Structure formats: C-alpha cells, structure tokens
Structure 1
Amino acid sequence: MNSKLLESSRRVEDAVFDVTVNAGDGYMLPLKKGQILRMIDVCGNQSGDVQIYNQHDKTERYNANNTITAQANTMIELGTVIRSNRNNPMLTVIADTCGEHDTLGSGCSAEGNCVRYTDKTRYMHSCRDTFVRTLQDFGMSKRDQTCNLNFFTKVILDDTGRLEFADGISGPGKYIDMRADMDVLFLLSDCSQLNNPCNDYNPTPIRMVVWDE
C-alpha cells in the first residue's frame, strides 16, 4: 500500500456545498476553520492552480517557502500542512487518492506561454489572467497574487535544478481532502492550458465539495 494515499469515509451526499468549475474558469471559495474541502479531478490529469488567503487579513496568504521548509518536501501530499507567509497553518491534507501535488511550477501566464510555446500563444487563456479577474470581484488586484499550488500536477526537480512536468499522475475521480486550519479564501483557476500534454490537450472540470467539521 502506498503510504502517501488515503481514502476518506466522507460521503458527497452529506456535503454542505458542491460546485463544479469548468476549465478556464476561476472560483473563490470561502472556507471556515474546521471545514473540509475535497477537490476532485473529474476526468483526470487536470491541473487546478490555487492561491490561498486569510479571510480576515488578505495580506496573510499561502507561502511556498514556509510550506516546503517545514516539511522538507517540495510536494503537497498526505499530512502536509499548507503554511502562510507568517508561517501559520492554513490547511492540512487529511486524505488523498492522487499522491503528489506541485508547489514549484508557477501558474501559466501570457508571458510564460510565449517563452514555452512561441509568441502565437500570447493571447490564449492563462491562470494568471483568471486569478486577476477573480480577485477583482473580491476587491483585490493583480498585486495580491501570491505563490500558487498546482493540484493534480507534479513538477520534478532534478539534481541540476531543472524543472519538468510529469505526465499522467492523476486520473478520473482522484481527489484530495484538506481541513481548513483558519478561515480562508481558496482561489481556484481550473487551468485551460492547451499547449501542455499533461492533460492530453483537453482541459476538463474540477469539482469542489465542502463538509462542516
């Protein structure tokens, strides 16, 4: 048995909230301390880019350095405590059927698309644009963008410091459960990247389900 994997006994029928976010869309989900969030990779191998904020003080937000340093691991997996820029716990992974999720790769952007896939992709969808549009609905701006997590995605860091996307780590119905350790705003961009083969050039939905404590 893979020690990184653990199924949950929670039933979707008992959830207090359930939303499916289509590829290319963004969604800001408020979570109260103690609530459980399940992200579901509906069709498989779909990257869910996420930024996280303290509901009551948006200057406190997810920080990759503190999260990686505290666990001495660049991946988000079972037992990981996702930490803020003030080193406070924000979310804890309590169940996971995928196994590993990325903290290193930045969300796709117009500039990044040009560098990786030529200038022809400049005006294609990007997660950075989705983040900005969604933040504006909550009185925030592009200055409030922070580190992002990439759920259902794995970026390999080799001995030379080179980063490379790993294909096919997730599958239809794979999920991750996280308990909110403070009141948070959980901002999802369901990546509509058409140039990366990790999703077989076919972006698909991500479902978010919430239970009370």
Structure 2
Amino acid sequence: MSTTVEEVLVPSREGRGVYVKKGQLLDIVDVVGHQVGDIVAWYRKDPSEYMSPTHTVSCNQSVVLKTGSQVFSNHRNPVFTIVRDDVERHDIIVPCCDRERYLNDYGLPDHAHCLGNLEQARDLLGEDYELHGETAWNVFMHNRVQPDGSVVTDPAAHEAGATITLKAHEDLVVLLSACPQDLTPCNNFNPTPMLLRVIDEG
C-alpha cells in the first residue's frame, strides 16, 4: 500500500524542494491547470552528478518524454523513470527562464524567474549548490520544433490535477519552480501553484 511521506505546495511564481529516497515516487501535480514547472535534481551522495536534459536526449535518442521514459544524469545514469504521465508533453531543449530572459527580451529587470525560484527552493532546504538554468527540465511545457528548426511555445492544454509520477533511482534533492512566465502562452498567461508529493510504494 502506498503511503504519502510529504506534500509540499509550491506557490504561484515561487519554488520549493523535497528530498526523495531511492525507490520512492515523486508526484508533480498541476493544481489549477495549464501550468508549467521547472525541475532540477542532484544526487545527495555526490552533488557533482545531476539530472541533465541534454544527456537525457542523447541517451534516449529522443526529445520526447512519456510514461516509461527514463531521465538521465550528466554521467548517463538513470535519475528517474516516468511511471505515470497524464500530459506526455514536456520540454528538454531550452533552459529555464532567468533574469536575463526578462531583461533582454522584455526590459523587465525585476520579473520573477524560474532560476531565482529554484534558488529560493534550494535556500529553503538549506542546501549549498550552484544552480544553472540549462540543467532544468521544463515539465508540462508545450514547445514544438518546427520543420525549419524554429521553436514555438503553445499554451499548456492540460487541466487541474494533471500529474507526472517519477520513480527515483538514487537518493535525490529535487527542486521545483512554478514557472512565473506571464508574457508568453506557456502558462496561458496566468501562473498558478503546483504540488510536490513524495510517496513510499510500500
């Protein structure tokens, strides 16, 4: 029988984190609907090994993640297996948004951003770890690569309660940003909360 170990609400436009043990499940839940999350993870025993979207593309020979897919580390070891995926549309080719994204593209130096949210989540856990935007996986983000190579961001079409469930292959630190982007369609221009749920399968 599965047991919920911890639930953490990730407020809109903020970040939170959890510790996930090897073999545990992690639910990432869109509470309201149409929301994108940015996730980073690293090994507790060796922080130099971390979840890597680019290595995941290489190992899977695909930019598509869905139920049954594995997410890999920078040493090409499995970090997660996706055991449930209500959405099966995610982005692993662009970094999370950062201060420069809003400053350079919109002239907004003080807009909330995912990298800052992830730093907030790290600090709330008391971790000392240097974060980089290119190591984030953009969960539920609907980016399309066009035949000419351009990338188009579509509105997230999933509804309230949409969930992806990940099985951890090692003891991990996991951080999630409820993406604050309100200037493109990725969150339907309306950022909302998300939920992290750690589960023992039993």
Same fold (TM > 0.5): yes
Q: Is 1:123 matched up with 2:110?
A: yes
Question: Counterpart of 2:195?
Answer: 207
Q: Is 1:73 matched up with 2:55?
A: no
Query: For the residues of structure 2 that align with 1:100 and 1:147, how far apart are their CA atoms?
Result: 18
Contact 1:39 1:177 in 2 (8 A): yes
Q: After the TM superposition, list the runs of 4 or more consecutive aligned residues in structure 1 that deviate by more than 6 angstroms.
A: none
Contact 1:132 1:145 in 2 (8 A): no
Aligned partner of 1:158 among 146, 150, 154: 146
Partner SS for 1:194: coil
**Could you tell me how far 1:69 is from its partner in structure 2?**
1.6
Structure 1 segment 72-111 matched on structure 2, within 5 A: 72-111=61-100
Percent identity over the alignment is: 26
Q: Which amino acid aligns with 1:30?
A: Y
Contact 2:16 2:120 in 1 (8 A): no
Task: Note closer, same or farther for the CA distance 1:74–1:27 as it changes in structure 2 (3 Å cut).
Answer: same
Query: For the residues of structure 1 that align with 2:134 and 2:169, how far apart are their CA atoms?
Result: 19
Q: Is 1:38 matched up with 2:16?
A: no
**Could you tell me how far 1:20 is from its partner in structure 2?**
1.2
Contact 1:98 1:176 in 2 (8 A): yes
Query: For the residues of structure 1 that align with 2:121 and 2:23, how far apart are their CA atoms?
Result: 24
Q: Which amino acid aligns with 1:149?
A: W
Partner SS for 1:125: coil
Question: Counterpart of 2:135?
Answer: 147
Contact 1:131 1:145 in 2 (8 A): no
CA RMSD in angstroms, aligned pairs only: 1.8
List alignment gaps of at least 5 residues for structure 1.
Answer: 1-9
Query: For the residues of structure 2 that align with 1:192 and 1:34, how far apart are their CA atoms?
Result: 31
List alignment gaps of at least 5 residues for structure 2.
Answer: none
Q: TM-score, normalised by structure 2?
A: 0.91
